[in-house]
Structure 1
Amino acid sequence: MENKPEYLAFWLGLSKIGVVTALINTNLRWKTLVHSITVVKSKAIIFGGSLQDAVEAIRATLEEDDSEMKYYCYEEGSEGFSPTSLNTLLQQSPPHPPTTMNEFSFSDRLLYIYTSGTTGLPKAAIIKHNRYVWLGTAIRYMLNIPDGEIYYTSLPLYHSAAGVTFACQTVVHGDTLALRKKFSASKFWEDCIKFNATVTQYIGETCRYLMAQPVRPEEKQHQVSTVIGNGLRPTLWSTFVERFQIKKVGEFYGSSEGNANIINTDNTTGAVGFISLIIPSVYPVTLIRIDEATGEPVRNRKGLCIRCKPGEPGEFVGRIIINDPVRNFDGYVNDQATNKKVINNVFSTGDSAFLSGDIMVMDKNGYIYFKDRTGDTFRWKGENVSTMEVESAISQALNLTDCVVYGVEIPGAEGRAGMAAIIDTEHKVSFDTLAQKLKKLLPTYAMPIFIRIVDELERTGTFKLKKFNLQKEGYNLDVVKDPLYYLDVKLGKYIPFDKATYDEICSGKSRL
């Protein structure tokens, strides 16, 4: 469902009768959507009328496994199958609270929020009641935000940034939350004025879009004093704060499921958080040294991980403490996916830690700066993209066995754009239809921007495909001699990548 007040009301009401709700990304279609619904063993789907076509397209597939699946449509949908009208049921329902038969616990499951993690299809991260309260409350008090503020967000409620961090301020603390269905750079400050917003939310992409807008009076007539989010780059930080007259930037780092969360509380430019170097045991998160080529942790003679020195990049990890709502790792619905995010024998024999999948750098004072994601996932358009999911889609679309996917940097863009190296020695790839096939298999943000055709792919000694050198070469025409293609969004297909397009991208003229 798209952003609307009822979105919160539905899952909150369902939780009161013991139903755990899965918050599904509205960009998902076909295989990925089916997986997200079935992986948590859903018994029913509530969807907005504007998304009825997406649900109808997968209905037959869903009913192969569960013929009893129920469908509830809120607001008017398109013509097609006839789901139960949630509007009608709500009008017929009594106004008094329902009688609940469940015995509730603070450690019960509240929600499932999906994350791409590092590999494969979306994973349903477990959000318990205690974690929901802690995530939103911690930011509130760490940034010293007073009661009675008005929060504005245009980020999707299916992600934890808006759906937990900001929604918690209303659900738990009683403050006002103003919503927009979808982010609009031209209407952003107008909305803040309209709602008298004092706190708002960002990701790196939205900051860049706001800075690209022409100067207008509204950007200095608002009452916003605090902005909270992640991805505000150091190169943009000072000019952003000065132009829009922001007093406090609450840049934070964290994940829906992880226990390694930090926040910048004192406006240190570019930092995503701080770790005490004097008393590190107070909050046991740190950076560990990893092998740049393999991404595997580097260990000492005792088999333990090695802490990074100031200025040395490493993977951010958080020590796991069972039954501690802050330090525990609740993981995913899938146990195998959970185990892949846990590393053992980190700082002492027998201990364990959560692997964030992100590379950070710490300065000599303990401030942490984001550097990059590890090799099997990258971030684009504000979404995490699993390379394994994209590789699987390409193989399915082209009946190929070998391809690798990785993220490449684009000047002036946040995150990394997807690039795929595909073996095609027999010239069987049809670039006229590839984009159409991938569009049915992948969310729009996960579609590769670049395609590289190769004769062979380098493998490790255990036959895993290697992508380090490919990622390093990227789409640089001065280095890459293989045929390259890029996704022309207007034409809806992949076309040859030439020097003129390459120059436009490098100069920042092309936004892809």
Structure 2
Amino acid sequence: MTTSGLHFFYFILAAIIILLLLGLSVWCIVNRRLLCATIVTLPRDVTALTRLIKILGHFLYLQRNNLTVGQVFDKNARKDPEKVIIRFENERWTNEQVQILANKIANYFQSQGFKKGDSVALFMENCPEYLCMWLGLSKIGVVGALINCNLRLQSLQHCLEAVNCQAVIYNEELSHALQDVIAIGGLNGTPLYSLCPTENSPSITPSIHLRTELEKVKCSQPEIKEKVGFQDVLFYTYTSGTTGLPKAAVIKHSRYLIAATAMFCLNNFQKDDVIYTTLPLYHGAANVLGGGAALCHGVEIVIRKKFSARNFWKDCIHYNVTVAQYIGEICRYLLSQPPSEHDRNHQVRTMVGNGLRKEIWSEFVGRFNISEIIEVYGATEGNCNMGNIDSKVGAVGFIPSYLNWAIPYWLIKVDEVTGDPIRGKNGKVIVCGPDEPGELIGKIERNHPIRDYLGYADKSSSEGKVLENAFRKGDAYFRSGDILVRDIYGYFYFNDRKGDTFRWKGENVSTAEVESVISSLIGLADVVVYGVEVPGTEGRVGMAAIADPEQSIDFDELANEIFTTLPSYARPVFVRIVSQIQKTGTYKLQKTTYQREGFDVTKTKDKMYILIGKRYAELTQNVYDDIIKRKIKF
């Protein structure tokens, strides 16, 4: 190459480098917030990536070997048969004891003609046998249906029939509920297996005394007639039924194993941790965190029959708990307890769960000396799962924007009234920007253990949960139904449940936000907020149902505080006083009935109040009539 040619080459090379640097400079200037956010969150992202690689490696091992939950547990049991993995009251259950009972269950039900694909309902309160039951059934491919033990009559009957249960295993404490179902024509001929003590007889006739039958059965591994694998169905778990009848979500071995591993690795749990759960084992959160830690990772778990705010920290001290689980309103219930010497005299390092409101987050951590709060997000049947592993106040998880190609979760704009996705001129959905609320969706990839959406046992119940042709023709996304907000750092914050917002005076009102404010004003009592229709108005007027069994609320003070803390459109115009708020089995507050009854004084004997000016006055029949006649303006 000649000297002039060499000079020209260097000139072009220099020009290219300068242009690249200029382009990079322009990009950095335009995206300086994103660049700064990336740098700030780099330690968080590196930590998460390290743990995700560990999860991926374990997943590939499970998938390659076509393993089931039962096989993973048996491997752990062979390694350390004397390891205690379940504590319940004064009971200690070792790997060997759990394995023996699970094998007996498998052998017994196989001898009774149950086969792969059949379903057996578990209608039981929390106890060690609960985990053994569905584990044993799964070894022969029988699918456990984990029934909410609070259900009664038609709701209970619906859950049993939704998956065509061929049998029911129940605690004696719940026998009356099954008797009520029988009285309305349910369970016709369905075999019932009672777990009553050996010396007692079942209270339902006819019932089979399961403990007595199991004494006759061998405890060796069952002879498998039909192979059970990684992608087979493990059990059904039901949605809470906050609106409508419960739906049976399909959980495969693959989903359970990956979820249990993700909870263990992502949250950096250790083999010598002791995990405390007071949540019902029919619920996915307790079954995956508690059950998964014990069965899949050999961690000791402590099960309590029911949550007790008074005994929570006492139990943690007694059992040397290091990790405790929360959900719904549990943290608020604990804060509502009077200060005690037990508040900080424990070894709990980590609290993990969902639903801790940011308004009480710091207070909770400070009072109870909790080093780490791990807030997690995810629907039982969904594919949008994430976690907040660095205790960011209020966040339910995070995904760095530069990793959306690998973790395809998006917040999209939806119509405020209909809830339908808003599409642009090109027909594609519109992605929300930073700090803009939108519905969370997750890309569906068939046969993927995490991104697949299996839906419900009743396929018609899955309609409306899948969004098709979102970004390109032929794609499919799971609709979470939740409205979240994502900030510039990639953190997600729960905003509200789609449908749990209402529009008033041209503004959208978040029920969760108003509930949180009012609850904090009245000593953390239970509150639900909802919109009600008023004749002659557009949108919905805010109404709050407050649990106040002692009738102790000072309404003048409440009105003053509400005017101080809430904008005009968010202030509840109506207030209903109830003895207690209806709850689901996982302590989530229900508002369906209250919303349906509205402010109609003829539908309830509860006292109701209306905001007139800056004061709450009792809602009498005459005032109600004036509202209906549109004599009172809003």
Shorter-chain TM-score range: 0.7 to 0.9
Shift of 1:166: 2.1
Partner of 2:478: 354
Q: Are the aligned partners of 1:205 and 1:414 in contact in 2 as well (CA < 8 Å)? A: no
Distance 1:360 1:327 in 2: 19
Q: Are the aligned partners of 2:237 and 2:248 in contact in 1 as well (CA < 8 Å)? A: yes
Distance 1:124 1:118 in 2: 14
Partner of 2:165: 42
- SS of 1:494's equivalent? coil
1:280 aligns with 2:404: yes
Alignment of 1:7-26 (within 5 A): 7-26=130-149
Partner of 1:68: 189
Aligned AA (1:469): G
1:31 aligns with 2:31: no
Q: Are the aligned partners of 2:531 and 2:541 in contact in 1 as well (CA < 8 Å)? A: no
Q: Are the aligned partners of 2:144 and 2:234 in contact in 1 as well (CA < 8 Å)? A: yes
- SS of 2:540's equivalent? helix
Q: Are the aligned partners of 2:143 and 2:233 in contact in 1 as well (CA < 8 Å)? A: yes
- SS of 2:342's equivalent? helix
Shift of 1:145: 1.5
1:128 aligns with 2:252: yes
Do the aligned partners of residues 42 and 302 (structure 1) sit closer, same or farther apart at CA in structure 2, a change above 3 Å counting?
Answer: same
* Deviation string, structure 1 residues 168-192 (Cα, Å, up to 9, x no partner): 0011111111111111111001111
Partner of 2:457: 333
2:528 to 411, 417, 434: 417
1:157 aligns with 2:277: no
* Deviation string, structure 1 residues 426-483 (Cα, Å, up to 9, x no partner): xxxxxxxxxxxxxxxxxxxxxxxxxx8x779x9xxxxxxxxx9236466799999999
Do the aligned partners of residues 117 and 277 (structure 1) sit closer, same or farther apart at CA in structure 2, a change above 3 Å counting?
Answer: farther
* Deviation string, structure 1 residues 23-74 (Cα, Å, up to 9, x no partner): 01111111111000100000111111110000010124455xx643111111
Distance 1:353 1:105 in 2: 26
Partner of 1:317: 441
Partner of 2:215: 91
Distance 1:176 1:495 in 2: 46
- SS of 1:169's equivalent? helix
Partner of 2:225: 101
Partner of 2:605: 494
Q: Which runs of 5+ in 2 are unaligned?
A: 1-123, 503-509, 546-557, 560-567, 582-602, 619-634
Do the aligned partners of residues 250 and 98 (structure 1) sit closer, same or farther apart at CA in structure 2, a change above 3 Å counting?
Answer: same
The percentage of counterpart residues that share the same residue type is: 41
Partner of 1:390: none
Distance 2:463 2:487 in 1: 31
> What is the TM-score of this pair, normalised by structure 2?
0.63
Distance 2:450 2:271 in 1: 23
Do the aligned partners of residues 496 and 185 (structure 1) sit closer, same or farther apart at CA in structure 2, a change above 3 Å counting?
Answer: closer
Distance 2:404 2:525 in 1: 31
- SS of 1:315's equivalent? strand
Do the aligned partners of residues 415 and 81 (structure 1) sit closer, same or farther apart at CA in structure 2, a change above 3 Å counting?
Answer: same
1:469 aligns with 2:539: yes
Partner of 1:292: 416
Do the aligned partners of residues 80 and 131 (structure 1) sit closer, same or farther apart at CA in structure 2, a change above 3 Å counting?
Answer: closer
What is the RMSD of the two structures over their aligned residues, measured on CA atoms? Answer: 3.2
Partner of 1:59: 182
Shift of 1:119: 5.5
Distance 1:62 1:94 in 2: 36
Aligned AA (1:207): C
Do the aligned partners of residues 62 and 11 (structure 1) sit closer, same or farther apart at CA in structure 2, a change above 3 Å counting?
Answer: farther
Shift of 1:356: 0.4
1:199 aligns with 2:317: no
Would you say how many aligned residue pairs link Structure 1 and Structure 2? 433
Aligned AA (1:72): Y
Q: Which runs of 5+ in 1 are unaligned?
A: 379-405, 422-451, 459-467, 506-512
Q: Are the aligned partners of 1:262 and 1:272 in contact in 2 as well (CA < 8 Å)? A: yes
Aligned AA (2:192): Y
Partner of 1:396: none
- SS of 2:308's equivalent? coil
Distance 1:44 1:418 in 2: 40
Structure of larger gyration radius: 2
Q: Are the aligned partners of 1:153 and 1:180 in contact in 2 as well (CA < 8 Å)? A: yes
Do the aligned partners of residues 17 and 362 (structure 1) sit closer, same or farther apart at CA in structure 2, a change above 3 Å counting?
Answer: same
Distance 1:184 1:481 in 2: 31
> What is the TM-score of this pair, normalised by structure 1?
0.77
Do the aligned partners of residues 415 and 483 (structure 1) sit closer, same or farther apart at CA in structure 2, a change above 3 Å counting?
Answer: closer
Distance 1:58 1:118 in 2: 21
Aligned AA (2:195): Y
Distance 2:617 2:279 in 1: 30
Distance 1:493 1:200 in 2: 39
Partner of 1:383: none
Do the aligned partners of residues 277 and 163 (structure 1) sit closer, same or farther apart at CA in structure 2, a change above 3 Å counting?
Answer: same
Aligned AA (1:312): E
> Is the helix fraction higher in 1 or 2?
2
Partner of 2:466: 342
Aligned AA (1:115): T
Aligned AA (2:165): S
